[in-house]
Chains A and B, each alone.
Chain A
Amino acid sequence: MNIVCAGINHRSATVDVREKFAVGPHELEQALARIRRIDGLAGAVIVSTCNRVEYYTASVCPLRVLDGLRGYLQERNGGNDAPLYTHESPSSIRHLFRVASGLDSMVIGETEILGQLKQAYAAATDCGATTRHLNKLFQHAFRVAKQVRSETQITRGSTSVGSVAVDLAGKIFGDLNGLTVMMLGAGEISERTSRSFVSRGVGTVIVTNRTFERAARLAEEIGGMAVHFDNWHNALDKVDILICSTAAPHPVVTREKLEPLLKRRNDRPLFIIDLAVPRDAEASVNELENVYLYDIDSLEQIVRQSLEVRRAEVVRCERMIDQHVGEFVAWMRNHISFLT
């Protein structure tokens, strides 16, 4: 029995090509039924995400199956060839283990793909499209992904400015539920960051902007409240996280302005995320007790550090995966099947 994988991903095809081959949930059953008619194919799992469309099949005659898959994909693509990559055992096994562990993802170590693989496998099982070898392969892949994530740092840190800000807030406040976020300036990046906080359960969002109408509009969109720009410091008593992104040429959040306000806060920490260029907050504000200031450079630096840590871990992950591939190949040798 051979495991054959054929597919396209973010490296081999642009999004306009990938979208032509995407298999939506509504057509999955039909697509599985269609490819199971390919001569020599014993079973199949279709993985379709925004970054990849891959067909994992079990077969005793891989070349015939690959021809069949190419023909099927040509049909879907109006007779044009698909920019397919193909793998046979053991390369296909290694490929699946790498995909499950997030090593083949656009952002190394991302964890969403594992859930997507589990969904794809469950859908194929529900359709009765899997075989003993495919069942064993996918279950093994889920185990490998779990081990790689728990024993290496491949998922450490965050890989976007918004998620780094949310992580740091967690390291300052713990639970984000019920916290108050203030947006000082209604720029696009601060809006995205605020939305990240809203999705993590912060209680209140206060929006303030030189143009009050824009603040009011944004506040309505994200379910917050608008405050006049002249009064932002009066509302600071209740604020836990201050996101700055004004277009002011000089610092808006100064040490002189902040120091008396901090006395009214009863030692509650204040997390300032300064996304503005030029910066809205004076650097010396970070020296104040209970104040933690991060500007755009420091957040991007953390993103880079996280990615470096993840990249450095790839070698360890590959070693683990190689060991598992060896184990799975040995299992396949001991469980030769000519049909399923």
Chain B
Amino acid sequence: MDRLLLTGATFCLLLSFGYTLFALGAGRFRPGAVNLVAILGGFVLLSLDLWRRGQVQGACPINSLFDVLVFMSWSILLIYLVIGPAYHLSLLGAFTSPLVFVVLLFAQLGHTDSAAPWRLHGGPWVALHAALSMIAYGAFALAAVAGLMYLVQDRQLKNRTAGALLYNLPPITALGVANGRLLWLGFAILTIGFVAGHISGISVNSLKFAASVLIWAGYGAILLLRWLHRLPPKRTAKASMAVFCVALLLLPAIQYLSSHK
């Protein structure tokens, strides 16, 4: 049972990813039931896994890099299931499933739970801070995915290639809007998470603090420039992908520093 739920969730995402590759290879991709069911299945299994580990640990299960990666994967799927259908971005799922699949695979095969786990001290505010931060990263991950889709669609329109993707990807303006809204959502949640962390009074390693502020400021700068029309949608898409990659690289470092403060 230890890894059964997680393996099942990974398999669901692999199924969604595989279906996407197969359908795109056959040139007849139509987003729909297969992807949604696979992602929904993965989300349910991940939720059960998190609940089970929360019961075992007696706290919010964000106590190791392994936990963080699983929680972030869950957050990405949660945000997708809330945002995707609302904005008719069903194809977002086809791009999301490979990302979550890779994160889950790395969590399981990358010895991410071999290091000594750390405990979240400081009561509910710290748990809230950690959980909100992970959900914010989920939103940023989806913003990066929407950004990638924007760049793909832009390239197809600029190159005048009428491939299967052109017809199946959402309109480029809708992708730009989704990219911006997901950035705002992630930024708002991350800010609340920071406030919760501040209220908890937890002492933080200065490097971790600096890295966190850097990511927060990076997203803040993108949104400010976008709001002022100084950053066109295409550059916003690129910037959201770049900052997310930086965040993804810094995340393990931040968690390592958290455990060795």
User: How far apart sit A290 and B28, CA to CA, in the bound complex (Å)?
Assistant: 28
- Which residues from chain B contact A167 at a C-beta distance below 8 Å? 167
Does residue A174 face the partner (Cβ distance < 8 Å to B)?
yes
Q: Is the CB of A170 within 8 A of B171?
A: yes
The reply to whether the CB of B110 lies closer than 8 angstroms to some CB of chain A is: no
State the Cβ distance, A233 to closest chain B Cβ, in Å. 20
Please pick, from A153, A168, A301, A306, the residue contacting B27 in the complex, using a CB distance under 8 A.
A153
A173 to B229, CA, bound (A): 19
- Residues in A with CB closer than 8 Å to B27 are 153, 309
Please measure, in the bound complex, the distance between the C-alpha atom of A316 and the C-alpha atom of B160, giving whole angstroms. Answer: 27
Interface centre among A167, A171, A305 (most CB of B within 10 A): A171
A173-B173 in contact given A157-B167, A290-B233, A292-B157 (Cβ < 8 Å): yes
Check if A301 sits within 8 Å of B171, measured CB to CB.
no
Residue in contact with A289 in the complex, picked from B160, B169, B234, CB distance below 8 Å: B234
Per the bound structure, the CA–CA distance linking A201 and B232 in Å amounts to: 27
CB distance from A282 to the nearest CB of B (A): 15
User: Interface size of B by Cβ–Cβ distance < 8 Å?
Assistant: 21
Q: Which residues does chain A contribute within 8 Å of B59, judged by CB atoms?
A: none
Bound-state CA distance A186–B78 (Å) is: 52
- A68 contacts the other chain (Cβ, under 8 Å)? no
- Contact between B234 and A269, CB atoms less than 8 A apart: no
CB-CB contacts of A287-300 with B at 8 A, as 1s and 0s? 00110101000100
Structural contact, A172 and B28, CB atoms closer than 8 A? no
- CA distance in complex: A286, B235 (Å): 16
| Contact A301–B173 (Cβ < 8 Å) | no
Q: Which of A167, A267, A305, A306 is the most central at the interface, judged by chain B CB atoms within 10 Å of its CB?
A: A267
Interface of B is mostly: helix
A308 to chain B, nearest CB (A): 11
What are the interface flags for B169-181 relative to A under an 8 Å C-beta threshold, 1 for contact and 0 otherwise?
1111110000000
Question: What residues on B are CB-neighbors of A292 within 8 Å?
Answer: 157-158
Determine which of B153, B158, B173, B174 lies in contact with A286 in the assembled complex, contact meaning CB atoms within 8 Å: B158
One of A152, A286, A290 near B232 (C-beta < 8 A) = A290
Contacts of A302 in B (CB 8 A): 160, 162
Interface check A311, CB cutoff 8 A: no
Given A152-B28, A266-B229, A289-B234: A174 touches B157 (CB 8 Å cut-off): no
- Provide the residues of chain A in CB contact with B120, threshold 8 Å: none
* CB neighbours of A170 from chain B (8 A): 171
Q: Which of A157, A267, A309 contacts B233 (CB 8 A)?
A: A267
Whether A306 pairs with B173 at a CB distance below 8 angstroms is no
Q: Is the CB of B160 within 8 A of A298?
A: yes
Cβ of A171 to closest chain B Cβ, rounded Å = 6
> Does A70 belong to the interface (CB within 8 Å)?
no
Neighbouring B residues of A294 by C-beta, 8 Å: 160
* A182, B247: Cα distance in complex, Å: 44
B99: which A residues are within 8 A, CB to CB?
none
Question: Which listed residue, B28, B153, B164, B235, touches A171 by the CB 8 Å rule?
Answer: B153
Q: Does A238 contact B (CB under 8 A)?
A: no
Chain A nearest CB: distance from B229 CB in Å? 5
**Which B residue sits closest to A153, measured CB to CB?**
B28
In A276-335, the 8 Å CB interface with B consists of: 286, 289-290, 292, 294, 298, 301-302, 305-306, 309
Q: Which residue of A has the minimal Cβ distance to B233?
A: A267
Q: List 28 A-B contacts (CB under 8 A).
A: A152-B28, A153-B27, A153-B28, A153-B164, A157-B162, A157-B167, A164-B162, A167-B167, A170-B171, A171-B153, A171-B171, A171-B172, A172-B171, A172-B172, A172-B173, A173-B171, A174-B170, A174-B174, A267-B229, A269-B173, A286-B158, A289-B232, A290-B233, A292-B157, A294-B160, A298-B160, A302-B160, A305-B162
Taking A267-B233, A292-B157 as given, write out 20 further A-B residue pairs in contact, using a Cβ cutoff of 8 Å, ordered by the A residue number.
A153-B27, A153-B28, A156-B164, A157-B162, A171-B153, A171-B157, A171-B166, A171-B167, A172-B172, A172-B173, A266-B229, A267-B229, A269-B172, A286-B158, A289-B232, A289-B234, A289-B235, A290-B232, A290-B233, A302-B160
